[in-house]
Amino acid sequence: MMFWYAHGVSGWGWFGMSVGMILFWTVIIAALVLLFRAVNGPHEHTHTTPAAPTPEQILGERFARGEIDEEEYRRRLDALHAGPLTKS
C-alpha cells in the first residue's frame, strides 16, 4: 500500500488540497506583484491642488460664455492691466 492512501484522504481531499495550494500561490504572487508595483511604479497620486485661475482667465471665460460683451471685456481687461487703483 502506498503512503498517501494510508491517511484516509479521498479524491475530494486531494482536489481540495490542490485548489488550496493554487489559491495560496496565487495570493502570494499577487501580493508580490502589488508590492513591486507600489515600490517601483510612477507616483501619480500627488496631493497638489490645481492652480487658481488668473483674473484674465476668469474674464476670458465670462466673455466666452456670453456673460459680458466685447466692450465690457476690453474695459475690464484694460483695468486689470492698468494696475491697482490708488486713492487721491
Query: Tens of pLDDT along 10-30?
Result: 778 888 889 999 999 999 999
Q: Is the pLDDT of residue 62 over 50?
A: yes
Structure confidence by residue, pLDDT tens digits, 65-87: 999 999 999 999 998 888 776 66
Q: Give the span between the Cα atoms of 53 and 59, in whole angstroms.
A: 10
Residue 12 has what pLDDT? 80
CB atoms near residue 62 (< 10 Å): 14
Kind and range of the H or E run holding 69:
none
* pLDDT number for residue 85: 65
Set of cell numbers at residue 28: 502570494
pLDDT tens-digit readout, 42-51: 766 666 777 8
Interior/surface letters 68-81, b for 16+ CB within 10 angstroms, e for the rest: eeeeebeebeeeee
User: CB under 8 Å to 63, separation ≥6 — which residues?
Assistant: 70, 73
Whole-structure pTM value: 0.40
